[in-house]
Amino acid sequence: MERLYELARLYDLYGGLLREKQRECLRLHIAEDFSLAEIGGELGITRQAAHDNIRRAERALAEMEEALGLCARQEAQERALAAICAELNALEEPITCAQVRAIAEKFEPYMEIDGKEAGE
């Protein structure tokens, strides 16, 4: 299940970069939970061709993630933002300006666009 979840995340990020047949085979495999025979029937290819397309797509997605690291970056950002939310929820009144500034500083890495701060 974990492998399928990871594959779905990679597909969401990089699926548009796959070849059409690979993309469709993988979509049917992940989103529709089709068997290889069902994928082959749907796309007019053999069961083996469906299997080969899925494996090639998985390798291509893994290579893209290794080269670009978008999924890893997204997961790190999600963890960091969850930690900031937990810190905000843990605040007790009265809240000081120093506390607010300390938490606001943790958002700064997410406010940069092309090396410039948002709004510049």
Which regions in the chain score pLDDT beneath 50? 117-119
Query: What is the per-residue pLDDT for 114?
Result: 53
- Angle, CA of 8, 15 and 110, to the nearest 5°: 80
φ/ψ of 26, rounded to 5, equals -70, -40
Per-residue CA distances from 78 to 2, 74, 82, 99 (Å): 18, 6, 6, 22
Distance separating alpha carbons of residues 38 and 21, to the nearest angstrom = 14
> All domains of the chain, ordered by start, with CATH?
2-68 (1.10.10.10), 72-117 (no CATH)
Query: What is the per-residue pLDDT for 113?
Result: 59
User: How would you classify the pairing of strands 112-113 and 116-117?
Assistant: antiparallel
Query: What is the per-residue pLDDT for 119?
Result: 47
**Which residues is 116 bridged to in the sheet?**
113
